[in-house]
Amino acid sequence: MRKLLIVLAVLAAGTVATSLHAEVLIKEGFEGEQYTPLEHWATNAGEIETHYAGISEDKAASGKRSFKLDVTIPKGHYAYWWLPVDFPFTQPLKFTGKVCAKGEASVELGYAYKNPARGTSGHVFKAKKKKELQSLQLLHMEGLAVYVRPRGGRFANTHVVIYVDDFEVTSLPLRAQPQPAVSKPKIAGDYEVIPVKPITNEKILPSSAVIPASLKRESMAIIAAQDEFEPASFVILAGKQLRDVKVSVSPLKNGDHTISSLDVLAVKCWFRSGGLGPALTSELLLHDDELVRVDADRCKQQLRATNLEGRTRYYSINRINRSLKPEFIIEDAPALLPVDIPALQPKQFWITVYVPPEGLPGDYQGSIHIEPANAPARTIPMTLSVLPFRLPAPCLEYSHYYRGKLKGDNVPVISSERKTEPQLAAEFRNMKDHGVINPIAYQGGERLERYLQIRERAGLSEERLFTCGYSPYSGAGLSELLAAAKKFGFGEVYVYGPDEASGERLKQQRNAFVNAHKAGLKVFAAVYPYDFFPLVGDILDAPNVHGIDQGEFHPRLAAKVKARGFRMYSYANPQYGQPLPYTYRDHYGLALWKAGYSGAMDYAYQHEGSGHIWNDFDAGFRLIMAYPTSSGVVDTLQWEGFREGVDDVRYVTLLQNLLDEAEQTGVATEKVAGIRIWLKDLDIDGDLQQIRGELCQKILQLREILKP
């Protein structure tokens, strides 16, 4: 029987314990009636023939029984089984187990885990060490695994018999470390204003009055190009409770020139659900901090909504609550309202500056005004340096799954699926402002032309139309789809193949793909990197490749797809909705460009599942980048991080364009060649903001070289 010795106590407390002694976390010997069976987990081998999977008395490392797998693996490169487990851990772990295998396969034991802070996952095999497993960061155990691989290049109807026994996971002891006494921070006067790094996975939470040194900045200084949104952030930390704090930002001035496209919002910390239980995280960007009320001590939160009778009240969103209905009105304020700031609870604020395409280059000066009702007002200087160039569109195409469709009237509901025309227009504008100019359309039927008209007015792309609103199999409505696409000037029309299909299921779609091509359509689909290319790589026009091991990319596969004249996109690397701004900037920015993908196509801008989309606790973790309101959207920190990734690619695109121009005009100096080599060898694993600064320097150097 598997024994959860300290895990139960850990999960009940909602925390992760550490120990100075070794502790057995899991023990499974497959004895007795309450053992946990192994489950088939993952493979690229097609349909595996299972002759037997269960308890056996043939062999046992100890006791009388072991778990036996008797299978025939037809093809592929791997087949994995696991014993699923679910618990957080911080200490280094020791995993032991016994395995006996017969057949032409290598069998290895290990475990699979996730790193929630980075949005990545990993596997640990025997004698394999990873740095993050030797630290105190929070990780999450997913399963104890049996990894089966062929001894040759591939399985070929390989018969394998495997016996496993005596799984045991032990947390290794930690050395005692002297813990410094935590004291209240020294606060100058009634409160301090602390500039902080905006795009980071580190959270500024009300539970800690200490702002990490890694997040602090010296001043409120912004650098941006023309036609670019750029964020900045600061924290107010008070020694006493501040009431009705007004925060505003003055226009930024450079002589007679003014940049006034500024927005200031409060960063709202609230609870999200997840595998580790409710987690307090900084996520929402609100003008009205009271739209969501959070009681962190009691792990409770409420959302303000107005019911059909016109009564406004707060509804619980930390449990299943069917009294909160999609028809109720939810609205943020148009501009930042005063906020209350409790003592020793840092409150983060967010500033977004937009430099218009015609913005005059140079240095602009402005200020942040902070006026509490019960403390002296302060003015904090803020600067903006506008670079002497305009950013082009990125060389990558940014799309995503967008489930919203016109509902047929203008009575708003809060939903990822049903949109009024004003809601649809607001969300299209929001996507465009964040760099996504070609969202996948789920709209079909008689409202398609109106949908495309609203999309056209928002300034979205008309180069390719990706649609999940029509099937390549039935043929129904395809002629109407092509006619509508032609009317609005789309050059190519893509219909969606089977979602996340692999193996035989994917291979069976070939005829449907061929028929779609005959009808003048192209096909795109979410696929896995390990088998789609040999199965349908010759006829799948736009594979949207799943990021199985998040943070991993497939540049050789992207090159093979492009060599066929097709386009390859990135999906679920990670999926949308994780409160990880820096991860989205990284994985959907320079990392994507460096790997040679055609673009990004993640899921989903909004997906409510069942229950209310603002209630994360009635249907599980939501995949959301911007929360719908009755007339617009509420942005999130991860959505801002995604936009910074798009802008990183825009800087790279400009540098590439300038290099091409230099070569075409004959200004191919040694310095130009050196910049091209620098870009080709660019190490993207460093600090992304620092890399952007280096890109700016190279752009300015090239512009100087290219002067008439």
* pLDDT number for residue 669: 85
* pLDDT number for residue 274: 61
Q: What is the distance between the terminal CA atoms of the chain, rounded to a whole angstrom?
A: 79
> Over 70: is that where the pLDDT of 90 sits?
no
> Over 90: is that where the pLDDT of 680 sits?
yes
Q: How confident is the model at residue 306 (pLDDT cuts 50, 70, 90)?
A: very high
- In 3-state terms, the chain is what percent helix, strand and coil (to 5)? 20, 35, 45
Q: Which residues share a beta bridge with 230?
A: 353
> Over 90: is that where the pLDDT of 182 sits?
no
In angstroms, rounded to a whole number, what is the distance separating the alpha carbons of residues 652 and 699? 9
Q: How confident is the model at residue 17 (pLDDT cuts 50, 70, 90)?
A: very low
- pLDDT above 70 as % of the chain: 91
Contact assessment for residue 189 and residue 238, using Cβ atoms and an 8 Å cutoff: no
User: Which residue did the predictor score with more confidence, 402 or 547?
Assistant: 402
> Over 90: is that where the pLDDT of 288 sits?
yes
* pLDDT number for residue 181: 47
Q: Please give the single-letter amino acid code of residue 481.
A: L
Mean pLDDT (whole number) for 601-630: 90
Mean pLDDT (whole number) for 403-420: 97
* pLDDT number for residue 184: 64
> Over 70: is that where the pLDDT of 135 sits?
no
* pLDDT number for residue 615: 94
* pLDDT number for residue 269: 97
Mean pLDDT (whole number) for 604-612: 91
In angstroms, rounded to a whole number, what is the distance separating the alpha carbons of residues 458 and 450? 13
> Over 90: is that where the pLDDT of 566 sits?
yes
In angstroms, rounded to a whole number, what is the distance separating the alpha carbons of residues 219 and 245? 21
What is the three-class DSSP state of 86?
strand
Domains in the chain, start-ordered, CATH in brackets? 7-171 (2.60.120), 191-288+332-390 (2.60.40.10), 397-643 (3.20.20)
> Over 50: is that where the pLDDT of 132 sits?
yes
Q: Please give the single-letter amino acid code of residue 561.
A: V
Range name among 104-113, 124-133, 435-444 with the lowest pLDDT average: 124-133
Mean pLDDT (whole number) for 532-544: 97
* pLDDT number for residue 277: 56
Contact assessment for residue 510 and residue 473, using Cβ atoms and an 8 Å cutoff: no
Its pTM stands at: 0.79
- Report whether the peptide linkage leading into residue 335 is cis, meaning its omega lies within 30 degrees of zero: no
* pLDDT number for residue 130: 55
E strands, 49-92, in order: 49-56, 66-73, 79-89
* pLDDT number for residue 247: 98
In angstroms, rounded to a whole number, what is the distance separating the alpha carbons of residues 450 and 206? 45
> How large is the angle between the packed helices 688-705 and 637-664, nearest 10 degrees?
30
pLDDT in tens, 139-152: 778 888 999 988 87
* pLDDT number for residue 141: 82
> Over 80: is that where the pLDDT of 34 sits?
no
User: Which residue did the predictor score with more confidence, 77 or 492?
Assistant: 492
> Over 60: is that where the pLDDT of 701 sits?
yes
* pLDDT number for residue 87: 73
User: Which residue did the predictor score with more confidence, 174 or 414?
Assistant: 414
> Over 60: is that where the pLDDT of 19 sits?
no
Q: How confident is the model at residue 412 (pLDDT cuts 50, 70, 90)?
A: very high
Q: How confident is the model at residue 113 (pLDDT cuts 50, 70, 90)?
A: confident
Q: How confident is the model at residue 37 (pLDDT cuts 50, 70, 90)?
A: confident
Q: How confident is the model at residue 544 (pLDDT cuts 50, 70, 90)?
A: very high
> Over 60: is that where the pLDDT of 583 sits?
yes
Provide the mean pLDDT of the chain: 89
> Over 60: is that where the pLDDT of 556 sits?
yes
What is the three-class DSSP state of 639?
helix
CA proximity to 285, closest of 310, 266, 302:
266
Buried/exposed 428-440: b ≥16 CB within 10 Å, e otherwise: bbbbbebbbbbbb
pLDDT in tens, 453-501: 999 999 999 999 999 988 777 777 899 999 999 999 999 999 999 999 9
Contact assessment for residue 609 and residue 620, using Cβ atoms and an 8 Å cutoff: yes
* pLDDT number for residue 224: 98
Q: How confident is the model at residue 118 (pLDDT cuts 50, 70, 90)?
A: low
In angstroms, rounded to a whole number, what is the distance separating the alpha carbons of residues 346 and 210? 8
> Over 90: is that where the pLDDT of 617 sits?
no
Range name among 11-15, 188-192, 600-604, 689-693 with the lowest pLDDT average: 11-15
> Over 50: is that where the pLDDT of 703 sits?
yes
User: Which residue did the predictor score with more confidence, 390 or 6?
Assistant: 390
- pLDDT above 90 as % of the chain: 72
